[in-house]
Amino acid sequence: MSGRYEKEKRFEDRIAEKLKVSPKIITDYYYHLTGAGRSPMTSYNYLINVMNFLEFTYKNNIPDDFYNEIKASHINKYIASLRTRNVNGKIERTSDSFRAVQWSSLNSFFQFLIPEYIKENPVSYTNRPKMKDKPNVTYLTSEEITQLLRYVELNASDKLVSRDLCWLKLGFSTGLRVSAILQIDIDDIDFENNQIKVTEKGDYDEYIMFGDNLKQQLMECINDRSQIYDNINTNALFVSQIGNRLSVDMLAKALRQYAKNVTNKNVTPHVMRHSCATNLYEKTGDIYLCSKQLNHKNVATTMRYAEISKEKQREATNILDGLI
């Protein structure tokens, strides 16, 4: 199987297992999602959200025609129950965006049922959770990025240094989601035109450009990959030490270990995307350029990433303070 679709196949297998123990209408909904072009990962998340609601409402006795019984009160009760959740024995408040995603999944499902199964969507009689909380926009400054890359260069093992520098530089300089980075195959890289074919969120292909610094790192990564690993069974650009495609969890663990030596910030894989957008916005002030770089369909989405740094805020404060 082509390396690009290894992750999709894993999600398809998970979906197949979930559908075995779900009401038949859930299977119909799954084919509705895939027919509309949803990726296996997105379809899986939708199914999980709907099933969590049904398990909350019916426990372990979900009737096949449950959709005829669901009312707005069931939706409201479920969304209200999501205000907190247990994380490692500790009760934590959930974000507005988390609850909004659950609401949207239910809205999608019940809308699918109209008009063949039900006449009205019960979710339409409820309110989507308002987005009042501020999204997490942790990012690294250009100085912190330099320190992180330098630390990896000096401290990573010989087998990992070129590989890990490569995915770090890809993340910070392109703003690609980590899922897209890890799906890159060697054949996707066009060194003649300095571009890479990637599969973006929404399951569509996109070409991203890269500069000479990243080009050099990509070439070093590929060269070391062929010399260090002799048991590779995938065309993936980034492979683990046992020769398989590098996973998100493995990358996240490595990033966390590296980052704790240069910053006290909570550095997750998505922080690379935050950092790309924020640093680009600070240097250009062009939110539309940032939106294009991140492949956002709506520029309003980009504002979540293009946060102005504390240094810039202090600079603005001093300028305005000078007026008085």
Residues annotated as catalytic (active site), given as ranges: 177, 201, 270, 273, 296, 305
Q: Long-range contacts of range 285-294, CB-CB < 8 Å, 24 or more positions apart?
A: 293/174, 293/175, 294/175
List the Cα angle 229/230/234 in 5-degree steps.
80
Residues in Cβ contact with 13 at an 8 Å cutoff, skipping those fewer than 6 apart: none
- 54 vs 134: CA distance, rounded Å: 30
Distance (Å, whole) CA 153 – CA 270: 21
CA distances to 93, 187, 225 from 237, in Å: 38, 9, 8
Torsion of CA 295, 296, 297, 300, to 10 degrees: -160
Cβ contacts of 99 within 8 Å, gap of 6 or more: 79, 82, 83, 129
Q: How many CB atoms lie within 10 A of CB 52?
A: 15
Are the CB atoms for 79 and 129 separated by under 8 Å? Answer: yes
Residue 165: Cβ within 10 Å count: 18
Residue closest to 175 by CA, chosen among 279, 311, 60? 279
Based on its alpha-carbon atoms, the radius of gyration of the chain, rounded to whole angstroms, reads: 23
Three-class SS of residue 204? strand
Strands of 204-209's sheet in order across: 189-190, 195-200, 204-209
- Tell me how far apart the alpha carbons of residues 254 and 181 are, in angstroms, rounded to a whole number: 15
User: What is the SS3 assignment for 298?
Assistant: coil
